[in-house]
Amino acid sequence: MSIQLSVSARNGRLDSIEASIGTSAILKIKTGAQPSDCASADTGTVLATLNLPSDYFSAASSGEMEKTGTWEDASADDTGTAAHFRLYASDGTTCHLQGSISVISGGGDMELGDISLTAGQAVLITTFTLTDGNP
């Protein structure tokens, strides 16, 4: 039998993510395989760097929270194929969250309309949802 959490407990756990990371978080979209965990060194080339708004996630509801505000890099850093992302504290080096990237309906943790990015192009994340599910 596995442990089950109430929706309230799941919401609390999700809401603690933004509180732990803090304001002025930085999202980096990168090439290659993601590291094994957030404590591992960065891998890949940074394709885009997005300075997130000070309140970048909604309050959790029904075990989910969604991005809020504008998540955009007006000019991508490099050219390549987006494969993973890392969400950092404002220092740009302390990773708190990471996941895979795919095209829309491709099953990635974050989905983009096009994973082929070109240096100088605008990169906009239109939707992103974190779900805290029971095992």
Indicate if the pLDDT at residue 134 is higher than 90. Answer: no
User: How does 54-68 read in b/e, with b if 16+ C-beta sit within 10 Å?
Assistant: eebbbebeebbbebe
Report the predicted TM-score, pTM, of the whole model to 2 decimal places: 0.93
**What is the domain partition of the chain in residue ranges?**
23-131
Cα distances from 86 to residues 9, 18, 31, 79, 98, in angstroms, run 25, 14, 11, 18, 4
pLDDT tens readout for residues 86-125: 999 999 999 999 999 999 999 999 999 999 999 999 999 9
pLDDT tens readout for residues 34-63: 999 999 999 999 999 999 999 999 999 999
Question: Closest Cα partner for 65 from 73, 74, 55?
Answer: 55
Torsion of CA 113, 29, 17, 124, to 10 degrees: -40
Indicate if the pLDDT at residue 24 is higher than 70. Answer: yes
